[in-house]
Structure 1
């Protein structure tokens, strides 16, 4: 447990041994009557913040804390004030873990975790990766992530990668020339896992497909690939597993919280019931039955420094009907609540609907490598794509016909072939954007 990686966390003041012990106790609790234990944990964190956090005390001043569903649903807009004004009693800017969200939902903010909670997050990550034979203190990770381009930020991330046993491939340029260099690095180095943004890793897999190369044959030490931060479509999962020759694991998380869901060895997208409580709510903040879609709302059960209680993360998802308090299963992650297309008829449709339909058609022959869809007017969409050969008129008509079938007629599409797609500063690729 306590190799270089864990030691670096311990040196930075994170109580890893205590967190590991607590995490072990939590796992053991799940074998008991966990529904009652969970209710007590929810009550404990609410009571703590109502007594010790000025922000949460003000927010719940006239509410009954015994009725969970009456508690307010928090959003990032509640946190648009200085961090010092959001910390609980006994916590300062010097004795907590501080970070910031990426801002992909439009509301970036700085947040805090008490150091035990952050250590507990790492205990959870270490446990989940361990199910696939990955030991953070011994592993060597091929990391497909963005990286700050300023000298200080770049150097800081490279040092963190060194301490953490990672080799980072910056993803702002993934041309064939660059991917050839990536492939050569896999030939030289003994990586045992791949981790990073879905779109970038899928692009690498398509490059291997063109060359008829199985990555495991090039780098025999590989054990698994973990994709995160962007949607993983079923056909892309099949592509990754075929071209890499290793299991592909789907991760869903949020920096201000923890891992939210992690695919287990049985292929289930298992929700984190160890450190979080995850709800799916309707537009009126009421829980929906398992199997129905709604807003993903999460409570951090241990973070005493900063309240994340019934926190709307901005995603739409579905819990599986077979979910239990001990083992909730995420059946589907549909997308972000701000990625909704509003159509001329008044119909609202998740932007990923376009992506699903379009993807199923234009990727049949492997020509199109990546694409994004932008809604510029209520009836107008731009589809930007990267390909070896431009789409034909026949292909474009097939796409328009399919979208009409799944959505509605009368929509206008403009197709634009690009050399590369614009990514965010972090390197993420936003697959659908509404500009209206």
Structure 2
């Protein structure tokens, strides 16, 4: 039985109609794709101007003749009651309502009309099929968090059961718990893993320490899909080596759905069927292919709630090989708010700290996870999980590298932990600045 399709249909999400629409869009020739995008953008814009008071006020509508003049929406613009942002033609009962994870520091509740939500899922199913994964029949090992309240927990587990997902709760990643993970792989015919990068990486390190190849224990495994957190080349190699299957990058967000997915040729193919993705500079100017800037997204079929030129909070670049129909995400740098500000006025991407410390810390062989927090202009704190403490020599090496790549006269603190604090959704935010 097609459990995935049935579950969507039972919840009144028209998945069959969405799949038909997706195929229609995929069959539009490249030469006509600009016309398709132009038409769909204008239909969406006109709809929200007519039926959405919030968006009409936000746009300050006076007519327009240039898409670049459409205002940019930020997460902070959407942090107000959902009822004030819904189109007049929808209610919270007639639309799909969800909540962002809040890992960016700006959580909010959003809505999608049911067809838009179904179209998002049709896109996921289409991409997964590149690797022989069928959401109706393939069993997923799901490395995610889960609501801890009774109702939310039961509801999520029921959804997992219907959707052929078996959840591996990442709020407990102790070695004892991962031993139980391993037993589950021995007993079930999982077809793929899907989950947060940091959790799957930690499980991979556990397997490496025991010299276990997961595919030997679970021959049905085909791929591993990582999402929500950055995957570094060295980590990808480690995961692939101990799982015995390819590791695939997925880039998405709950409020807009699938943004990009890695194809078998290792290209991140951007979803151009139901999203319109732009790269903008600091002055909201559209950048050409190859240049790095803010990722701004328009959800082309969301008529319940405007997601029009929505700044998702990430920075990246589209490849010069991109076309309108097949954009390729060449670079995904990270969140725009993950930056460190130093006493001399210098601004440094938080990722710089991660690169520096990651290489040195992992040379020790016993550091499993770590996060970095900036507590003041000149002070940073590194929390890590390991079997033994970092030596003074290792700490000095890290501080020397930070001085070289980041800045001088910085105070670096170290703290060994049993576990690291994750967000409510289970993500591990690897760099955080507490400076406003």
- TM-score by length of structure 1 reads 0.97
Structure 1: distance between partners of 2:364 and 2:373 = 23
Q: Which residue of 1 aligns with 2:249?
A: 250
Q: Which residue of 2 aligns with 1:194?
A: 193
Q: Which residue of 2 aligns with 1:55?
A: 54
Show the 5 A alignment for 1:402-417.
402-417=401-416
Any idea what the Cα deviations from partners look like across 1:391-430, whole Å, max 9, x if unmatched? 1122112211222221221111111111111111111111
Q: Which residue of 2 aligns with 1:337?
A: 336
Any idea what the Cα deviations from partners look like across 1:188-237, whole Å, max 9, x if unmatched? 11000000111000000000010111111110000000011111111111
Give the deviation of 1:61 after TM superposition: 2.8
Show the 5 A alignment for 1:226-265.
226-265=225-264
Structure-2 change in CA distance of 1:210 and 1:80 (3 Å):
same
Q: Which residue of 1 aligns with 2:162?
A: 163
Q: Which residue of 1 aligns with 2:24?
A: 25
Any idea what the Cα deviations from partners look like across 1:358-409, whole Å, max 9, x if unmatched? 1111112431100000001101100011112211122112211222221221
Q: Which moved more, 1:37-46 or 1:345-354?
A: 37-46
Q: Which residue of 2 aligns with 1:218?
A: 217
Q: Secondary structure at the match of 1:131?
A: helix
Any idea what the Cα deviations from partners look like across 1:252-286, whole Å, max 9, x if unmatched? 11111011111111111111111101111111111
Structure 2: distance between partners of 1:297 and 1:75 = 9
Instruction: Assess if the C-alpha contact under 8 Å between 1:113 and 1:306 holds in 2.
Output: yes
Q: Secondary structure at the match of 1:242?
A: helix
Q: Which residue of 2 aligns with 1:347?
A: 346
Give the deviation of 1:287 after TM superposition: 1.5
Give the deviation of 1:111 after TM superposition: 0.9
Structure 2: distance between partners of 1:129 and 1:365 = 37
Give the deviation of 1:183 after TM superposition: 0.7
Structure-2 change in CA distance of 1:47 and 1:7 (3 Å):
same
- TM-score by length of structure 2 reads 0.97
Structure 2: distance between partners of 1:42 and 1:331 = 24
Q: Which residue of 2 aligns with 1:100?
A: 99
Give the deviation of 1:327 after TM superposition: 1.3
Q: Secondary structure at the match of 2:27?
A: helix
Q: Which residue of 2 aligns with 1:140?
A: 139
Give the deviation of 1:343 after TM superposition: 1.1
Q: Which residue of 2 aligns with 1:149?
A: 148
Q: Secondary structure at the match of 2:131?
A: coil
Instruction: Assess if the C-alpha contact under 8 Å between 1:379 and 1:411 holds in 2.
Output: yes
Unaligned runs of 5+ residues in structure 2 are none
Give the deviation of 1:118 after TM superposition: 0.5
Structure 1: distance between partners of 2:157 and 2:59 = 43
Any idea what the Cα deviations from partners look like across 1:80-105, whole Å, max 9, x if unmatched? 22222212232122211111111122
Q: Which residue of 2 aligns with 1:35?
A: 34
| RMSD after superposition | 1.3
Q: Which moved more, 1:266-275 or 1:320-329?
A: 320-329
Q: Which residue of 1 aligns with 2:421?
A: 422
Equivalent pairs counted in the alignment come to 435
Q: Which residue of 2 aligns with 1:370?
A: 369
Instruction: Assess if the C-alpha contact under 8 Å between 1:225 and 1:247 holds in 2.
Output: yes
Any idea what the Cα deviations from partners look like across 1:292-315, whole Å, max 9, x if unmatched? 221111000111111110001111
Instruction: Assess if the C-alpha contact under 8 Å between 1:296 and 1:312 holds in 2.
Output: yes
Q: Secondary structure at the match of 2:415?
A: strand
2:271 is aligned with 1:289: no
Instruction: Assess if the C-alpha contact under 8 Å between 2:30 and 2:324 holds in 1.
Output: no
Instruction: Assess if the C-alpha contact under 8 Å between 2:101 and 2:424 holds in 1.
Output: no
Runs of 4+ residues deviating >3 angstroms: none
Instruction: Assess if the C-alpha contact under 8 Å between 1:191 and 1:221 holds in 2.
Output: yes
Instruction: Assess if the C-alpha contact under 8 Å between 2:95 and 2:111 holds in 1.
Output: yes
2:25 is aligned with 1:9: no
Q: Secondary structure at the match of 1:249?
A: strand
Q: Which residue of 1 aligns with 2:66?
A: 67
Q: Which moved more, 1:313-322 or 1:208-217?
A: 313-322
Structure 1: distance between partners of 2:255 and 2:315 = 18
2:43 is aligned with 1:44: yes
